[in-house]
Amino acid sequence: MIKKKIFLTALVASIAFHLSADEGMWMLQLLKQQKYPEMRALGLKLTDYDIYNPDGSSIKDAVVQFGNGCTGEVISSQGLVLTNHHCGYGSIQNHSSLKNNYLEEGFWAMSREQELPNPGLTVTFIERIDDVTDFVKQCLERDSAKDSLGVFYLSPSYLKGVARERVGEVVLKNLQGIDFEIKPFYNGNRYYMFTKKIYPDVRLVGAPPSSIGKFGADTDNWMWPRHTGDFSVFRIYADKDGNPAPYSPSNVPLKPKRWLTISSRGIQENDFAMIIGFPGTTYQYFTSWEVQERRDIDNAVRINIRNIRQKAMLEEMLKDPAVKIQYSSKYAGSTNGYKSAIGANWAIDKHNFVDVKLRKQLQLQQWARNNNRGEYVSAIDAIRSAVDQRANLRFRERMLSEAILMGIEFSKVRYTHADSLLQALSTKDKAAIEKYTDALQSDYRLFANKDYNPQVDQKVSTALLSEYVRLVPRNEQPSIFDELYSRFDGDVGALVQAIFSTSIFGSEQNLQRFLASKRKDKLLKSDLMFRFAQSVNSEYDRLQMQLNALKRPYDEARKKYVEGILEMDGELNHFPDANLTLRLTYGKVKGYRPRDAVFYGYQTTMDGIMEKEDSTNWEFVVPEKLKYLYQNSDFGIYAMPNGKMPVAFIADTHTTGGNSGSPVMNGNGELVGINFDRNWEGVGGDIQYLPDFQRSIIVDIRYVLFVIEHYAGAKHLIEEMDIDKIPEI
């Protein structure tokens, strides 16, 4: 015991805990104080105002949030936007059919009229960023009596009210497409307000075929060396005054405040690189216990369950091209998180993240003792005990979410209208009966939409439920599982079969049979699918409620813990965890050594595409035209000086999910690439950045331009862009 203590003390003393050179997702409004000198030293030629200017236009104004989870950049005076192929994927899939299979063949609008609208897709500009910490804290104090649970300080809905209060209702009423959002930073120690301009008319302009935009698919996903042309092109439309407006044929291309200039001159090793975008979530301030929880519960459950789900899905997809279109997006989303969970667990073990975080908490503990800050010591203890106490609940919640709520599509059917219809039938209320019968039918269409296939759902759910009942003890399963044992003898396949053959939403025929039936009340009451959905969803609510009881002290303790770290190290030395807000990361173009005696270069070329080509494997098919261009070295001005055609490169910038589509800029602020992935060795970077291992994977802008111009023949788009013009500073 004593020995251990001495050892740990020595450990703490010996390790100075500094952020490594290129680590960090920095807030633009603090850049000048925090990082600007270092960026200049690395090769940045711009002033801080060129990047972020609160009173005028700057590079930041060309960076947008694309949809809810990606980034994009404006690259022409006509509102043209670049993002990743995988960010435009849902839209491309939506417009695809067996006849017009844009996923397979690509899509290029050769005129404005051909650009395709995407209801639901938005592009968001950040107009202003304000520090509102004092204001929010005053409001919290004023409202503390109403906040009996003590949760307001992190509550999005509470903070929304505060934002409205701050801005004033009059202003709100007069603004079209403007939204105000206050977000907590450093776990609720700081608050910033974002003024956003949200454009809802965003049209698809172009996308390469998946054999370019998704080349290497899941095998290459999260891997370097990479050869994916992961980009797609959209255009923002506005009303004639340039304001956000819902889709209308009379809308016109947006004339943006700012767009990026593009460099076709390429990059060299050690060149300065910076990325601005909207990183989603990181866990830099985890304690050792949270790292273990993530590895042993969250990631372990995800890896196990998704593996089962994907196998079942892929079998069906490979059998039928129509199913492949239907399930491409769902499948890609699933495997993406699956593979990153494996990579994260690998990094946690390989680089001892548990110890790394332990050292930090011990350092704070010691500092707190020396400085009379007992509250930080208590915070560390409180985190530990919350994590301990929630272990079983968390496992059940993760199992329920991964294996049932996310994995089984019919667990998401809407059952509220079925309940209302039953009610109406019992009171014989004719109008209500009619209303809810209609509602039920539209619920069915929403559920069994064009991307739903009952055979796939049946197969996947049988596989998932088998694993669920194997791992979750019987007395901890939702109540509907009683019937699995009483009526179906524990046979999951028989239960699923019964759900599909008898339930109203089991098939179109079932629905019609129900509509014609005289015993609707009986059918509704006994409907297995509705009862299943109801049971698993209320189990989820129950688990959430129990978890919430532990969440409050946990959130409090985390806030304190981070406060302690900031106090000990100085706030300017830290960046807040990613939270889907605008950030900048900088570093260098740089190769790396993944393991002993292996070195990965920083740049890939089309030679590598041909090395990977495999016409018998859907992931590595190379389109004929691309091969033809390659064989004839038809690369135009985009070739490198050695005649090779660049495809992708890497930089030691610090990025995460949400940074997809982010512009990668050189020291002049010119666009040189689009971020789209991270390397396998860097996937653990959401918990701990490793300068020698972590790399952002970036599609070279020269490859993007080459595909647009030479592969797609969409020269009119190239002509819209500012290529190789010195940026106006």
Asked if 210 is an active-site residue, the reply is no
Work out whether 67 is an interface residue with ligand GLU (CB under 6 A).
no
Asked if 692 is an active-site residue, the reply is no
Looking at beta carbons only, is 78 or 83 nearer to ligand GLU? 83
Do the beta carbons of residue 272 and residue 43 sit within 8 Å? yes
Looking at beta carbons only, is 140 or 698 nearer to ligand ARG? 698
Query: Edge-to-edge strand order for the sheet containing 646-651?
Result: 26-27, 583-588, 272-277, 663-665, 671-678, 696-700, 646-651, 603-605
CA dihedral 76, 78, 84, 85 (to 10 degrees): -130
In this chain, which stretch among 50-58, 75-83, 215-223, 534-542 interacts with ligand ARG, using CB under 6 A? 215-223
Residue nearest to ligand GLU (CB): 660
Q: How far apart are CA 343 and CA 681, in angstroms?
A: 7
H-state helical runs in 15-153: 31-34, 36-42, 48-51, 85-94, 102-105, 133-142
Among positions 677, 681, 709, 720, the unique one binding ligand GLU when judged by CB under 6 A: 677
Work out whether 539 is an interface residue with ligand ARG (CB under 6 A).
no
In this chain, which stretch among 202-210, 214-222, 363-371, 479-487 interacts with ligand ARG, using CB under 6 A? 214-222
Structure tokens at 455: 């055979």
Among positions 657, 667, 673, 685, the unique one binding ligand ARG when judged by CB under 6 A: 657
Work out whether 332 is an interface residue with ligand ARG (CB under 6 A).
yes
Q: How far apart are CA 383 and CA 357, in angstroms?
A: 13
Tokens 């689009």 correspond to 674
Work out whether 695 is an interface residue with ligand GLU (CB under 6 A).
no
State the number of binding residues for ligand ARG (CB under 6 A): 11
Structure tokens at 579: 């939270």
659 binds, among ligand GLU, ligand ARG, none (CB under 5 to 8 A by kind): ligand GLU
What's the min distance (Å) between Cβ of 331 and ligand ARG?
A: 8
Enclosing H/E stretch for 524: helix 520-526
Work out whether 329 is an interface residue with ligand GLU (CB under 6 A).
no
Work out whether 462 is an interface residue with ligand ARG (CB under 6 A).
no
For residue 635, how many C-alpha atoms fall within 13 Å in the half-sphere facing its CB? 21
Q: Which of the residues 265 through 324 are near ligand ARG (CB under 6 A)? A: none
Work out whether 175 is an interface residue with ligand ARG (CB under 6 A).
no
State the number of binding residues for ligand GLU (CB under 6 A): 9
How many of the other CB atoms lie within 10 Å of CB of 191? Answer: 24
Residue 641 vs residues 24, 604, 671: alpha-carbon distances, Å: 33, 14, 19
Do the beta carbons of residue 667 and residue 619 sit within 8 Å? no
With 0-12 CB in 10 A as exposed, 13-18 as middle and 19+ as buried, what is 613? middle
What's the min distance (Å) between Cβ of 659 and ligand GLU?
A: 5
Per-residue x/- marks for ligand GLU, 637-666, CB under 6 A? ------------------xxxxxx------
Identity at 71, one-letter amino acid code: T
Asked if 96 is an active-site residue, the reply is no
Q: Which of 50, 61, 220, 230 is catalytic?
A: 230
Q: Which of 660, 662, 686, 700 is catalytic?
A: 660
Active centre residues (catalytic): 86, 230, 660
List residues near ligand GLU by CB under 6 A: 655-660, 676-678
The residues binding ligand ARG (CB under 6 A) are: 86, 217-218, 221-222, 332, 335-336, 657, 660, 677
